[in-house]
Structure 1
């Protein structure tokens, strides 16, 4: 397990990380989300040793990370760091050799990864000749060449088309299934529901949530979706009812007690048709928006 312990960091007297603590479990995909400037990239750079923390430390399986440990990590920065005028396969082989792979092994792994992204036919092309989305695929391949023990990816889905998103999701799931801690940031909140097992939410340099997707949903399932045969505005005046969202005959509500829910259901039936009365399963994107509101 990768763990951050009370990491703080300031720039020019401004604190950008404030005692950040969370875990990235093995066997799970951990999403790291927050607005621009929330502290995601700074946190990832500290994990990788590219920045130092003013206080706190990072550990892997209980041992504080040191410089010799991090070369086994796979890192993809948000800013692309490959060479635009160099052939893709040449620079992937070069990067593999920097990780102590033989030239033959580096070529084999590079071609395998390019094939998974549908780019094997562009192996000899210069990077700059690819679309931005395909450049992103190559950047991810570079992070995976040496079969890392930990994966830290900053916006890996940025610019990818749906097929590439599927390929990326499959690759990350494969690594998680091997027991590799996988931490990735994303602004594409729709991916959270289908991909992440664990979610970390950061806002203004502070961790606002750090839990499994299952636990987060369980903490937000005290809501009900109602679809009525007529306008649902009367719910606003019902005792024991909190109206979270209301549009015409549809409402999202929470009840103070189970008795309140049964009373409101009976009242709704007496007023006409009830086409839906069900526990609302919240999307992780909705939970994120509520937490940072």
Structure 2
């Protein structure tokens, strides 16, 4: 297997802002026969961050996560996870929820949690104790002694999520964790993820639902067609599109109109246009001096969805929306 990036390597283990990195990857490539599933992915996930990998189904999200975890090896590129270049050396400090859910149907809920923890080195007796406590803490105490086969799909998924956390990992990797959960339990999972980050745990999750990433993430990697055209803070992604201004004036006409940007368009009582490069202050002065009579003025930044379209393209955005529609169906 070729693992070579020339002289680049993994030079350091700190983000641009000085925070240590929980995950660093450079130039990851993975091919299956003649198909390239991941084509040169770079990632840098700071410790303690909530980091989203955002893209449509089939974009390469799961393959990327499996390479980071050492479940499969890249054909090229380098990776470091929790300071180790061999993922299996730090497996005990990682919690992983795979996209394909699976628990033994005959196991009781608390035993299933203990079993998943045991795979990461947690003694079974301690896992059983923690499993019962976690089920009680998250409102599933009534399911402690129920077999997995007796639980709904959503409840079984919650049990598996708790199994991912029972050994108190430093890094948690969720692959499409919101899939299969109703709106109420999606909200509970979002709260859980925030709680993990508040305790210093690094959380990385893949999703094809932009709303989850926008509400939760400090940083995101946008992935489409096996490539990452953007990776960084959510605000930086949104700043790829200039904010939009909505203006309402008392006066309908006057010399002040010459100060409006070229793309200004009238829609009913409002003017809509892109925030000028010079900012809003010069325009405000022109409006005031021209006695436009400002009734209201709002500046709206682009959302992550608009940023995704601008960065990944219309085709990837349509595929993302189709995945969201299938999820709701």
Q: State the secondary structure of the residue aligned to 1:172.
A: helix
Q: 2:299 aligns with which of 279, 286, 290?
A: 279
Kindly indicate whether the alpha-carbon contact (under 8 Å) linking 2:132 and 2:141 is maintained by their aligned counterparts in 1: yes
Mapped partners of 1:64, 1:46: distance in 2: 12
How far apart are residue 43 of structure 1 and its match?
0.4
In structure 2, the CA distance between the partners of 1:259 and 1:66, relative to structure 1 (3 Å rule), is closer
The aligned counterpart of 1:288 is 308
In structure 2, the CA distance between the partners of 1:109 and 1:223, relative to structure 1 (3 Å rule), is same
- The gaps in structure 1 that reach 5 residues or longer are 232-237
Q: 1:116 aligns with which of 121, 137, 143?
A: 137
In structure 2, the CA distance between the partners of 1:63 and 1:80, relative to structure 1 (3 Å rule), is closer
- The gaps in structure 2 that reach 5 residues or longer are 1-21, 253-258, 314-329
The aligned counterpart of 1:84 is 105
1:37-86 alpha-carbon deviations (Å, 9 max, x no partner): 11101101111111110001210354413422224211111111212333
Q: 2:48 aligns with which of 2, 7, 27?
A: 27
Q: State the secondary structure of the residue aligned to 2:180.
A: coil
Kindly indicate whether the alpha-carbon contact (under 8 Å) linking 1:221 and 1:280 is maintained by their aligned counterparts in 2: no
| Higher deviation after alignment, 131-140 or 57-66 | 57-66
Is 2:168 aligned against 1:147? yes
Kindly indicate whether the alpha-carbon contact (under 8 Å) linking 1:29 and 1:198 is maintained by their aligned counterparts in 2: yes
How far apart are residue 242 of structure 1 and its match?
3.8
How high is the TM-score relative to the length of structure 2?
0.75
The aligned counterpart of 1:234 is none
Is 2:228 aligned against 1:207? yes
Q: State the secondary structure of the residue aligned to 1:193.
A: helix
Q: State the secondary structure of the residue aligned to 2:191.
A: helix
Kindly indicate whether the alpha-carbon contact (under 8 Å) linking 2:122 and 2:167 is maintained by their aligned counterparts in 1: yes
In structure 2, the CA distance between the partners of 1:198 and 1:251, relative to structure 1 (3 Å rule), is farther
Q: State the secondary structure of the residue aligned to 1:208.
A: strand
Q: State the secondary structure of the residue aligned to 2:160.
A: helix
Kindly indicate whether the alpha-carbon contact (under 8 Å) linking 1:73 and 1:148 is maintained by their aligned counterparts in 2: yes
Mapped partners of 1:252, 1:145: distance in 2: 51
Mapped partners of 2:263, 2:181: distance in 1: 40
Matched positions, count: 287
Mapped partners of 2:266, 2:135: distance in 1: 48
Q: State the secondary structure of the residue aligned to 1:74.
A: strand
Q: State the secondary structure of the residue aligned to 1:45.
A: helix
How far apart are residue 184 of structure 1 and its match?
0.4
How high is the TM-score relative to the length of structure 1?
0.83
Alignment RMSD: 3.2
The aligned counterpart of 1:235 is none
Mapped partners of 2:206, 2:266: distance in 1: 32
Mapped partners of 2:141, 2:196: distance in 1: 21
The aligned counterpart of 2:180 is 159
